[in-house]
């Protein structure tokens, strides 16, 4: 069974270029041969992902596929040859293209040596509910691609330097005139770089990049919630050709609290009270993020009512102050009664003014 390129990348038919690129990057990393040495199925997956991206990243091929179900004879022939001969064209040894320029996409199109901003990275960090209220400093490990530490990104063995590409004269593109029109395409010799490396750096095999794990101290602000993103400028993937580095986004995951439920900056707490307390009013000790306090439950409080305790919620992420604590009254019905309780309730039923036969239901 063959899959459509959309299925291969796990994106919707109407996915944006950005979504397609993101999905591709994720899968290509996952199945990259360097990460799965000797795993033939990963290699097949990798080729399939590569082929799907090749098709969907090219507006014309994608249109053709959407219209005809294939991108023509060289394209994506109904998916039948996925992983077959067509994809053998892709050189698995060319790490530079896979982990580098191809993701940026700009190298092939933009010609020689254009500065390209590094990609943004995202990582998740889990913190406790208590820490989310107080704020906390955490250390996050991030695997990012940076300039090679030995050749500093040139790809050339230290002591040597890249030379201007003889085929394109450093332009990065070559033109091919057909009749009245000239078509330019990335230079096949230098892959659009404009320069070639005669003696590749041994450390990075001439790619000029390496993957390295770095650790950053990140301050998670007080009041952070699940999904809160903290941006670390310039800590993403390194830029190319002198371009700036991307950013790192740390996405916060807050462990749920057994007591409190977040509602914006407010915290909701269930407070069980007896029928007598709700009917007659009572003072009840309740926990708050900073110690227990006495909550006044007014006489005649119905179950589900929210009683607001000002300023005892979570800190506002932006600006000052704190949200409120919302005590949600839960009138509890005892499963078992003592003899005295039963007698008191029987007595209450007798003297109760409410006649069940006159019960009014909401309409």
What is the C-alpha separation between 152 and 158, in angstroms, rounded?
A: 9
Query: Segment 169-208, which members bind Zn ion (CB under 5 A)?
Result: 187, 189-190, 201, 203-204
Query: Segment 61-90, which members bind Zn ion (CB under 5 A)?
Result: none
What is the C-alpha separation between 246 and 239, in angstroms, rounded?
A: 7
For the beta sheet containing 248-254, the strands, ordered from the edge strand earlier in sequence to the opposite edge, are 121-127, 248-254, 229-232
- Report the half-sphere exposure of 167 (CA within 13 A, side-chain side): 18
Alpha-carbon Rg for the chain in angstroms: 32
Dihedral class, residue 171 (left if φ above 0, else alpha if ψ from -120 to 50, else beta) = alpha
Minimum CB separation of residue 205 from Zn ion in Å reads: 8
- Contacts with Zn ion by CB under 5 A: the residue count is 12
Minimum CB separation of residue 208 from Zn ion in Å reads: 6
Minimum CB separation of residue 141 from Zn ion in Å reads: 23
- 29 neighbors 143 (Cβ within 8 angstroms): no
- Please, which residue, 170 or 223, has the CB nearer to Zn ion? 170
Minimum CB separation of residue 123 from Zn ion in Å reads: 25
- Please, which residue, 97 or 120, has the CB nearer to Zn ion? 97
Tell me if 211 contacts Zn ion by CB under 5 A.
no
Determine the 3-state secondary structure of 80 from DSSP. coil
Q: How far apart are the first and last CA of the chain?
A: 56
- Please, which residue, 148 or 252, has the CB nearer to Zn ion? 148
Minimum CB separation of residue 160 from Zn ion in Å reads: 11
Minimum CB separation of residue 172 from Zn ion in Å reads: 6
With a CB cutoff of 8 Å and minimum separation 6, the contacts of 7 are none
- Please, which residue, 48 or 145, has the CB nearer to Zn ion? 145
- Please, which residue, 133 or 168, has the CB nearer to Zn ion? 168
Q: Tell me which stretch binds Zn ion (CB under 5 A): 11-19, 73-81, 98-106, 168-176.
A: 168-176
Q: Tell me which stretch binds Zn ion (CB under 5 A): 131-139, 162-170, 330-338, 347-355.
A: 162-170
From 115, 144, 152, 155, select the one nearest 242 (Cα to Cα).
115
Minimum CB separation of residue 155 from Zn ion in Å reads: 6
- Please, which residue, 162 or 236, has the CB nearer to Zn ion? 162
Out of 30, 126, 167, 332, the only residue in the binding site for Zn ion (CB under 5 A) is 167
What is the C-alpha separation between 291 and 361, in angstroms, rounded?
A: 41
What is the C-alpha separation between 81 and 122, in angstroms, rounded?
A: 35
- Please, which residue, 190 or 232, has the CB nearer to Zn ion? 190
Sketch the per residue contact string, 130 through 159, with Zn ion: x for CB under 5 A, - otherwise: ------------------x-xx--------
- 42 neighbors 31 (Cβ within 8 angstroms): yes
β-bridge mates for residue 327, sequence order: 269, 307
Binding site for Zn ion (CB under 5 A): 148, 150-151, 165, 167-168, 187, 189-190, 201, 203-204
């Amino acid at each position: 069974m063959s899959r459509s390129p959309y299925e291969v990348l796990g994106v919707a038919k109407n996915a944006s270029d950005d979504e397609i690129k993101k999905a591709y990057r994720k899968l290509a990393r996952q199945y990259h041969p360097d990460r799965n040495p000797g795993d033939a199925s990963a290699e097949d997956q990798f080729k399939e992902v590569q082929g799907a991206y090749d098709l969907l990243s090219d507006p014309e091929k994608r249109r053709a596929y959407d219209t005809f179900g294939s991108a023509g004879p060289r394209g994506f022939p109904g998916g039948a040859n996925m992983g077959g001969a067509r994809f053998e064209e892709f050189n698995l040894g060319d790490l530079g293209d896979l982990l580098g320029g191809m993701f940026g996409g700009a190298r092939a199109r933009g010609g020689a040596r254009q500065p390209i901003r590094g990609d943004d990275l995202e990582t998740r960090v889990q913190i406790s509910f208590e820490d989310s209220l107080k704020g906390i400093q955490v250390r996050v490990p991030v695997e990012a691609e940076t300039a090679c530490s030995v050749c500093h990104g040139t790809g050339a063995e230290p002591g040597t330097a890249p030379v201007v590409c003889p085929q394109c004269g450093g332009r990065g593109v070559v033109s091919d005139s057909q009749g009245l029109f000239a078509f330019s395409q990335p230079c096949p010799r230098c892959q659009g770089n404009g320069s070639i490396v005669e003696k590749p750096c041994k450390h990075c095999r001439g790619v000029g990049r390496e993957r390295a794990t770095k650790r950053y101290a990140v301050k998670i602000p007080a009041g952070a919630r699940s999904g809160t993103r903290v941006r670390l400028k310039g800590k993403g993937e390194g830029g190319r050709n002198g371009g700036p580095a991307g950013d790192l986004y740390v996405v916060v995951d807050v462990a749920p609290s057994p007591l409190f439920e977040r509602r914006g900056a407010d915290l909701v707490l269930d407070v069980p009270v007896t029928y007598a307390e709700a009917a007659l009013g009572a003072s009840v000790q309740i926990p708050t993020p900073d110690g227990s306090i006495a909550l006044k439950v007014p006489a005649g409080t119905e179950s589900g009512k929210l009683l607001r305790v000002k300023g005892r919620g979570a800190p506002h992420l932006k600006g000052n102050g704190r949200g409120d604590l919302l005590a949600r009254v839960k009138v509890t019905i005892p499963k078992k009664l003592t003899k005295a309780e039963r007698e008191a309730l029987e007595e209450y039923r007798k003297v109760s003014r409410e006649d069940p036969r006159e019960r009014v239901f909401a309409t």
